Structures are given as C-alpha cells and as structure tokens.
Amino acid sequence: MFTIKVAVALCAVRWKTAEAVSEVFQVEDYVVSQGKMLRRGYTTGSCAAAASKAAAAMLFSGERMDKVVLETPKGITLTLDVLNVFRGPGFVSCAIRKDSGDDPDDTNGTLIYSTVIKEGAEVPADEPLMRGKTPSVSNLDPQVEIWGGYGVGKATKPGLACQQGGPAINPTPRIMISREVKAVLDKYDYHKTVKVVIAIPEGPQIGPKTFNPRLGIEGGISVLGTSGIVEPMSDQALIETMYAEIDSRKANGDKDLLVFFGNYGADFTRDVLQVDISRAVTCSNFVGELLDYSVLKGFESLLLIGHTGKLIKLSQGVMNTHSKYADCRSEFLALQAMFHGASREVGKEIYECLTTDEMTKVLKREGLFDTVMAEATAKIDFYMQKRVHGQLRTGAMLFSNVYGMLGKTAEAEALLDLHRR
C-alpha cells in the first residue's frame, strides 16, 4: 500500500494552495466526486521503477529497505512497501505490489519484481523471476540495460509504443526505471553496466484477459503508465470531473473550450503546437457528454485535439471512444481506401493492422492518406455538429506520436487561433 495521510478538514482544501495542502495531507491520492473520495492507485510502471530503485539502493548500500519513495511523472510522491527481498552475490531482487485504487483491474494486487544485477554477476539458474528473457532493443542509458523477465510480454508486431522484438515496457516506465537506477549508480560512483530484469509472476495468466494478444504482445502483460498514477475509472466519476472542469472554465468567463482525451493530447498541444494548456479540459472517452454539456453551458466553440486512434472513431459517430464500447478504426480506413482505388489486398492489409499508425503507414505508401483523411475529418465534423445541433462551433485535430499532425476539420485551425491569443 502507498502512504495516504488523510487529515481533518477536507473543506479547507479548496481554500489552500496546492503547496499548503500537501503539508496538511496528501489529498492528491484521492479524487472527490459527488461527495465521495475515490482513491487513486499507481501503475505497473511505477511499481517497476520503485522496485528497481529499491533493488539498486540495497545492492550498492548493503542495507535493507522496507519502504521506497518514488516521484511519479504526475508529481505525486508514492511511499511503497518493499517486499520479498532476495540478496545474492552481485544482485538484489525485490517486489512492489500493484494497487489500482478504487478502480481495480486485472493487475490489482499483482507483484511486480525487479532484479538489479552488477556486470559480471550471475543469478541462480533456479530463480526464473530473476533471469532476463527479452532484452530491450535499445536502452536510454548505456549503463542501465532493461530486460523483460518472466510474465512481461514481448512485443511481436510493429506500431506499438514499445519496440518490436523487445519487452512490452512502455516509454514512460522505461524512463522512470532508467532514471531511478542511474541516480543510484551515480550516488555510489559505479561506472559499469547493470542489468535490470522486470518480472511479473502472474503475467502469463493475466495477459489473455487483456487486449495484449490482439496487439501482438505475447507471454505476459505490458508495463504501462504515462503519469505513474491510476485515476479511478468510474465512468460517472470521470464525467462529473469533466463537468466540474467545464463549470470552472465557464465561471472564469471562457467562451471557447480546448479539450483533450488525456495526457497525449495535452503534451502534443503544449510541446508541438506551442499552446497554453492551463485552461484546457480533459474528456477521457466521453465525447458525447462533452458536447452535450458544452452546449448546455452556453460555450461558443469547442476544439478537441487527440490521437488519431481515438478521434477516428468519431468519423463513424462513436461518441464514447473506450475500446470496450466500440472500435471501427480499421473498418473505416480500409473501406475508405477501397472506395478511393485501393485493391482488396490493400484493404485487407489495413483491416488487419493493429494500430492507426500502422494503418497510416499503409495509406501513405499507397498515396491515399490525404484523400482518406479528408473523408475522415469531414465525417468527424458532421457527427460533432449533428450532436450539438449547430449550436456550437466545433473542430478536431488528429495527431500521431509517430507522424505528428495528421488531420484537421474545417474550422479547427481558426478555433486553435482562439487559444493562441
């Protein structure tokens, strides 16, 4: 469990600055919705990074650690119990238990192990959790070799955030692991290489319950997370949070909304488009509720910026973009490609792609991307306007972490200019 300091006067929170609040209690461990406190959790990526930090610290200090402190990308500090410590000549292994908060998923309660091994040292042959199975295709730091061990899936197909042929450890967890271990190496003036093996004993059992098999991730689960924190995923709680953000923008006198699905859109808008995102709203997957409430509150315009994997679903009128409700990405893009001259074989190739980045690659290769994207953005425009009955100017921008900006609806650029002022 991670440390949660709940204090007295919750009502005092809204009157204090974020810094002052953190001195009273860690309110950031909760999301408040409809009078209920919903507890956040932490990701498999945070578990892997914390276990790696603890194992490295114990390896080089020679001391036992019962707890480890980890700063997440979200800025929330976790204090986590260090479990199942095993020490050998030149290596240390330990585990962190995953806690999904008030939205338990298939990985809740799972132990995430990390074994940190000095150059030249060997782990016991009869300890499968300590032995690396899948090396990284590339490493962020030459001193820190990250390996996927037992229960960590292997990426067998292109187009994923993790490199094909390597362990299914996504970019942010890799950065966190490398950063934490390198800090320990620097502290103890160690200049050789260490191997970091991430293992998840329950991974082979959990993997088939997830989308991993469809994505080409075999043998276990992925190590995930962009913020290091798991937000409570009650649909109603998320919708209420979105409504509260919209209410805040209205109370601030805003007339034009800038909206993202989540972290990817925020990062792209801030870093690539160079637009201030401090007054933006996060809609998660709830595009329909977003549009309805924005009309109700009397806003004049709404610009939604998101990854093409989410936004392409709007081209078929899908207003909840979560994969458990609907997925029409490959069907739509394959059909549009064939409408504009692609062969049946190319259409089938697009249909069988796992990600929109892979679909984009095929469309660009065939010289059809611009035409198909024009159809997609026109349909997105149509369905957004249909939902708001023409009472709100709407626009959408689609991007990819691989290809950058991919498409814009008719009014998108003009609406973006409203947020550049």
Q: Which pLDDT value is given to residue 209?
A: 85
Q: Are 372 and 337 in contact (CB under 8 A)?
A: yes
Q: Are residues 205 and 238 in the same domain?
A: no
Q: Are residues 261 and 392 in the same domain?
A: yes
Rounded Cα gap, residues 61 and 39, in angstroms: 34
Helix orientation angle between 235-251 and 287-296, rounded to the nearest 10 degrees: 30
Domain boundary, last residue among 196, 229, 262: 229
Q: Are residues 99 and 222 in the same domain?
A: yes
Domain boundary, last residue among 186, 203, 229: 229
Q: Are residues 225 and 291 in the same domain?
A: no
Q: Are residues 315 and 177 in the same domain?
A: no
Q: Which pLDDT value is given to residue 256?
A: 97
Q: Are residues 18 and 104 in the same domain?
A: no
Q: Compute how many other C-beta atoms are within 10 angstroms of the C-beta atom of residue 282.
A: 18
Number of domains in the chain: 3
Whether residue 4 is contained in a domain is answered as no
Q: Are residues 262 and 323 in the same domain?
A: yes
Whether residue 385 is contained in a domain is answered as yes
Rounded Cα gap, residues 44 and 50, in angstroms: 10
Whether residue 255 is contained in a domain is answered as yes
β-sheet bridge partners, residue 223: 169
Residues 6+ apart with CB under 8 A from 267: none
Q: Which pLDDT value is given to residue 349?
A: 96
Whether residue 3 is contained in a domain is answered as no
Q: Which pLDDT value is given to residue 34?
A: 52
Q: Which pLDDT value is given to residue 124?
A: 93
Q: What type of residue sits at position 148?
A: G
Q: Which pLDDT value is given to residue 162?
A: 86
**Which three-class secondary structure state does DSSP give residue 113?**
strand
Q: Which pLDDT value is given to residue 335?
A: 96
Q: Which pLDDT value is given to residue 214?
A: 66
Q: Are residues 28 and 70 in the same domain?
A: no
H or E stretch covering 117: strand 111-118
Q: Are residues 246 and 347 in the same domain?
A: yes
Global confidence as pTM: 0.63
Q: In which residue are the tokens 């059909």 written?
A: 335
* Domain span including residue 180: 42-229
Q: Are residues 413 and 270 in the same domain?
A: yes
pLDDT tens series, the chain, 421 aa = 344 333 222 222 222 222 332 222 344 577 665 556 778 899 999 999 999 999 999 999 999 999 999 999 999 999 999 999 999 999 999 999 999 888 778 899 999 999 999 999 999 999 999 999 999 988 999 999 999 999 999 998 876 778 889 999 999 999 999 999 999 999 999 999 999 999 999 999 999 988 688 678 999 999 998 899 987 766 776 787 788 789 888 888 999 999 999 889 999 999 999 999 988 999 989 999 999 999 999 999 999 999 999 999 999 999 999 887 888 999 999 999 999 999 999 999 999 998 999 999 999 999 999 999 999 999 999 999 999 999 999 999 999 999 999 999 999 999 999 998 7
Q: Are residues 208 and 315 in the same domain?
A: no
Rounded Cα gap, residues 72 and 42, in angstroms: 9
Q: Which pLDDT value is given to residue 15?
A: 24
